[in-house]
Structure 1
């Protein structure tokens, strides 16, 4: 069976920490796959806020998630503190990929690797848009 491969960025743009909550744990007693995507979303929102941006406004346009991939590398449990590192790859004219590495700092165990394909979207015109300069700076890119 083929496995998902996620390319790591050359460097991380942002790091944040969050705890695994009771609502993040599934019936198997560990962090659920759907909640990993939610933690990546929270990290993305925090990263954008650190740049003075939001998903609705990254410089006159918003963002849409076009795709997502997730690879588990370990388990996380209720009460675990996780660090989420956010990095960018494949920055293009109107889209980019964000990569998130979730680790448990207490023992340096990697929990998951996530990739989300993000597209700039002009909601008023209902069409894909170029990446604004402020977002490019936040991505560490001159593309």
Structure 2
């Protein structure tokens, strides 16, 4: 089975938020489930965008769409731990780039996971990928 190694420079992270592991986030092995972590990553991404005044979609039908997700689990997390989600952007191309995440336990900074979401800008009305808006690129380049 292939293994991935995700490593990001410290200076790429420009936002952080905290979320508590809920009882509903716990799986049959009694720790944070991978499905719950993916939902928490999506919430962290949404909070990041909101903090910069960016909507995932706009009135013209254009927005951001996730193209892929890679996650590297580093340790278990349990209810009711508080997790720190650091979020950043990197590897821009003509159409998008990567949201990157570093997840640690808030109390002791123990690594829990690293992840990256590939994304592109998408015209939902025309159903096609569109170039990244310059105002987005210039804000984070």
Q: TM-score if structure 2 supplies the norm length?
A: 0.91
What is the alpha-carbon distance in structure 1 between the residues aligned to residue 86 and residue 61 of structure 2? 26
What is the alpha-carbon distance in structure 1 between the residues aligned to residue 109 and residue 59 of structure 2? 33
The equivalent residue for 2:2 is 2
Alpha carbons 1:63, 1:118 under 8 Å: kept: yes
Alpha carbons 2:61, 2:125 under 8 Å: kept: no
What is the alpha-carbon distance in structure 2 between the residues aligned to residue 98 and residue 83 of structure 1? 16
How many residues in Structure 1 have an aligned counterpart in Structure 2?
140
What is the alpha-carbon distance in structure 2 between the residues aligned to residue 137 and residue 110 of structure 1? 31
| Structure 1 residues without counterparts, runs of 5 or longer | none
What is the alpha-carbon distance in structure 2 between the residues aligned to residue 135 and residue 37 of structure 1? 24
What is the alpha-carbon distance in structure 2 between the residues aligned to residue 80 and residue 49 of structure 1? 25
> Superposition RMSD on alpha carbons, in Å?
1.8
| Structure 2 residues without counterparts, runs of 5 or longer | none
What is the alpha-carbon distance in structure 2 between the residues aligned to residue 71 and residue 57 of structure 1? 32
1:38–1:31 CA distance, 2 compared to 1 (3 A): same
Alpha-carbon displacement from aligned partner over 1:30-71 (angstroms, at most 9, x marks no partner)? 100111111110000001101111212399721111110111
